[in-house]
Structure 1
Amino acid sequence: MPRALLILLLLLTSGVLAAEPLYPALSAAAAHRLRQELWQTPPSKKRVALLLALSQDLIAKYQRLGTPLDSALIYRQQAQTLSQQLRDVEGQIRSSYTLGNFWLGLGKTAEGKKLLLQGLTSSTQFHYARLEADGWYYLSETYTLSATDFPKRIASLERAMALYQTLNDGERAAYTLKTIADLHLQQGKDGLARAELLQVLARYHAIGYRRLHYTYDLLSVTSGNLGDYKEAFRYGQAAIESALASRDTTDLNLFYCRMGSLYRVLNQFPDALSYYNNVLLRAEKARDASSVNDALILITEVLIAQHQPQRALSLAQEKLRQYPLKDPFRIDSLNLLARGYLANHQLGPAELCNSQLINALESNRKLISRRGLLLTAFMRAANIALINRQYDKARICLGKAAAQKGETYSSTTERMLLLLFKVDSSQGNYVAAIRHQQRYQQLRDSVFNEKRSKQLAGLQVLYDMKEKEHAMALLTKQNQVQQANLRQREWQRNTSLAGVFMLAVVLGLGYNRYRLKQRSNRLLESQRQEIAAQNQTLEKVLTEKSGLLEEKEWMLKEIHHRVKNNLQIIGSLLRSQSIYMQDGEARAAVRESRNRVHSMALIHQKLYQSNRLAGVPMAAYIQEIVDHLLASFNCQESVQTHLAVAPLEMDVTLAVPLGLILNEAITNALKYAFPAGQAGNLYVGLEAPQAHCYQLTVRDDGVGFAPEFEPTQSRTLGLSLIQGLSKQIGGRLLVEGTSGVHIRLEFDQTELVAHA
């Protein structure tokens, strides 16, 4: 059977299992917001939930769209570890579900089922009804679509639906019922599936749920299977409109294909081609080579049916060059080209492509699931051999085609019987030929009658739809003419009334204008004199204000200058005092105090030297603090500094505590991180990831804290100052000391205002 016909039958008879996830996938913006929130969330149950949400979203997108798994397993492992530390049973259950779905996505059903059962058992034991409902739903995914597993799969879904109903979760209960209806559709129970889907639609309408396109699509499939083409077309169009209205276009290509296939079955080739071309355009826009290839298969089949084989082959060759498939075996490309060459009676290239296709399918065990395509290739090989009068080869190819399992479509048997009839007739096996001809005719009559009955019903629906559209267009045109006549008469009447009204208005305005002009002239003269007097007063006030502002700026600069001088005097006094000290610890304490005074003096120096008194330039300020402390500890040669400071200006009320925090952090690093003159690196950074939000980082690659040292319990003056100043500005402080010491302080202007 040609793959296009196989795709066509699948589109008309299969559901959309897993097309819509149980929990909708996150948009790119929503996922980014969750990652940002995760970065700011400390260890807690909320952080566990964020990690699992990100992990599950990546797994769902991988299962549905084939996108990379990225950090899905890392997020899940962090959630598992943290939930165990917090004794968060709910988080541990969700972690089991997430890892189970991860293994299911990779095709490791046994490992996935084991973890899902663990989570389901725990959710039942601890009475987490929602988690138990989710567990039964996830467990249903572990069963195959075989006849033996169908009841188990449906039973799991029914238990999940019952729990969702108990929780009054109408959306999840309706979704689960839709999944059950999809399975009944897979079993061929179209009537039951349709009744369940109508219940789903009613439930969704009752709760105001808007993403109805997946339900509409399944109703379109069941209606088509039942021969109700009117409803099939109606629901198919509704699925497309709902997807576009809700901007959930993930499966829009599938909906277009469904509609195109309905028209294709009814031999309405132009309409079918219109929908297939929509699929091709979307696939090209997305640079999705696989979707381009699937659209090409359907489009070329329609073109061949319209007796345009050369156009079909040219289109296939052009698009395969533009969008090559990432397939080392070139299976789909070879199948498409072989079909196109054969339709154009180019037997040599057709036979070559088809032979390569057969060799690839037979020699690679990974492609065992493509037996349907192998059957198609053997049938095509038999047809080519028959045309070339290679009857023995044709019979061998037909025997190999018949040996393939799992192909039950009657059209395949019909074509095989026809080819066998031709081979037997050509070789003089007339008895066998007559037998094959009789079986072929019987099967053809049966299929033809059924197909013709459906086509007639479908054509009647199309005719009714066209008539209805024509009648609506005629009524619309008549209504437009009537509306135009009414608008013209109303316009004429309104124009006459407006003319009379406007004449009266103009006369009244003319007289009023004359009176107003006289009064305005008098008012303008008095206002002009008043404005002149006010201008003189304003000029005097502005002159005085300008002088006051200049005096204020001078005084502020003078204050900063004097404060800087006083602080420098204090520093000089401390330095002089340290000369006469014999105790090393006392001298070190005085030196550190002198450095603190110096960091505050620098701020006032910067404000005195700057033309702006509102803010301290932090880049130059931090550079000078680092240089001064390196010189103070005589570490210029041994310690390499790395500064990454954004060009920021900060208010003095924020710059002073920051300078002291920097002074203490760098002092601790220079004193303890590099013992005995050890060489090392010191990193200082200040950035603003968001407006009014800042992050200060001081990090070294030195010896770090001692194993028994706990920063939060320390009572040293330096760390106490850092912690106290951090609280003063409303900041969030993090101190780590495993590989060197890493101090990170996050703060913002709003927090500072709140603490002020």
Structure 2
Amino acid sequence: MSPELLQSQIIDFTSENSYNRVFVDTDNFGISYLDILERSYPLSEIDTIQFNILNDLAYYWHTRNLTKALDFTKEGLQLTREKHDTLWEGRFQITEGAILLRMEKLDSARFVLESAMKKVLKKDLPLVYTQLGYVSERQGKLDKAADIAMETLLLSQELNDKRAMAVAFSDLSNLFWKQSRFEKALEYGLKALVLFEERGISDLDYDFTLYVVGNCYLALNKHEEALNYYEHSIAIGERYGFFNNLCDVYISMVYLNAYLNDFDAAVLAGHNAIKYGELLDNNFMLMRSWLSIGTSQNLQGKYISAIESLERSIDIATDDFGDDFYLSQAYEELGKAYAGNHNYREAYQAYAEYDKLEKEIFTAEADQHISLLLTEFDVAQKESTIMVQENQIKKQRSRQTLMILIGGLLLMILLLLYNTIQTNKKKNRLLKKQNDEKEFLLKEIHHRVKNNLEIVSSLLSLQSEQVLDLKVADAMQKSQHRVHSMSMIHQKLYQGKSFSSIEMKEYFKNLGSYIIDIFGASDRVQIQCEMKELQLDVDTAIPIGLIVNELLTNSLKYAFPENRKGLIKISLTESGNQLHLDVSDNGVGKNHHENIGGTGFGTQLVELLTRQLEGKMSLSIKKGTAVSFEFQNHKAA
């Protein structure tokens, strides 16, 4: 298409509709469209047309060069203020905010956007909210960013603005991806693409959403699908000169090629990412580019090169660098590189910084949860909610006290049973002639204990079905599972050849099958007992059984969300006077699997039983969650 014909597709001052807005009315042009806008806006005799062209020029220049984009924005602000046009001043401020946040001036961007919100029309607000969401996201406040994206979605639905709806879905998809909720992220990203494609315009946000969906497929190890979306995004980015999106995609292409062991392609993608980051003069993009290169070098085993790349990434991130998400990734990869190069002190320091940043992100999310509650209700509803919550807290404390008393009673029963068994053992030594009678007595005791514990378990089950409070019902069901795990031990005792010890491998298999059936997960979760047969006395078996019950319950509740499949491994080995217990899963890890590090009754019970066995516990969350214990093995005399 000739330059004259191309310009007439966008600008024609002789027609009634003199400006076909780029990426709104048409996308039938190429990379030179910014040159056309730059030549045309001074020629417009109508202020609103001139402001419209100049604002689009400024906004889309931020995809290539932030400084030039800001210069056009300042010119627009000056013109609108001279004309006393408050509406267009607000619209130029939206563009200014979008540019400032990409310049890492996050506080200034928020201030400008909040100022613009007071000047523009309601139909402009989705764009304002979108940019404010990006500010929160860049500050590591992912929950706040998600709230803003949801608010944008509701407003765009009210306005019946499909493009704004698509952008909101796209932003939610990107946030879910950052939170490692990849299936949900993919669902929202595909929803966004449907809406974008209904418009029939290939714009900046459609291009970005293709990149986001590609990231989701990459995280789900669907590499071919990821590559298709990345290539589609690159084609649009190169056609219109979306350098920011091109930099994003090439960063992801580094990861994709590295995972596929195509390190030459990864190096080329890294060079392209840095090229576009430098053209943009955007430290955020350059920081992430070097991060991706360092990650690829780690995977390749080039730890010295990885250290150089990752330190360069961190150096680019200035003191006011707001995005703790990517900065934490940089320190995590730097720790891996130092460890791979046997620089363990530096590795420890890098991992410490990574842990610190992770905790800051988590704190921001917790604060946002409170803010979300405050913004959802008016003053009267807030007061009512606070009163209800206070009453619920009082009831919960009363129930917790009751559960502690019940736990104490159960402990007393266990102690009494223990004393009874010990007494019977002493009598058996003294009365050898009555051995057969005492064996029968012991078997009957275990049978009755087992029956009594099953009665207690059944009572807890029946009572939990009558309780309306979900937390109390859940606590009672957990207690039911604990009682049942103890009753299984007594069942093994009276059914087995020995009355003082049980075989733990078979016990773990039965306990695992019981808990899987309780959670209805037999078709998706497997339990493997990777151990030899091992006999333990009842005093050791009961606490270990309760510990394993807690860990299995925790894994099935939290490790495999959204019905995903998984594997739980149990191992108990004996080495001298030491017992080694390992329980691990390949679930989602700590972000969704918090109970082991929590402060609930189950955690307290595990810690108490560990101390009772003179043991110690360690937790690992590298791939799923793994909990290990070492106990003293005090064998019964």
TM-score, structure 2 length as denominator?
A: 0.40
Comparing both chains, which one has the higher relative contact order based on Cα–Cα distances under 8 Å and sequence gaps of 6 or more? Answer: 2
Report which of the two structures shows the higher radius of gyration computed on alpha carbons: 1
TM-score, structure 1 length as denominator?
A: 0.35
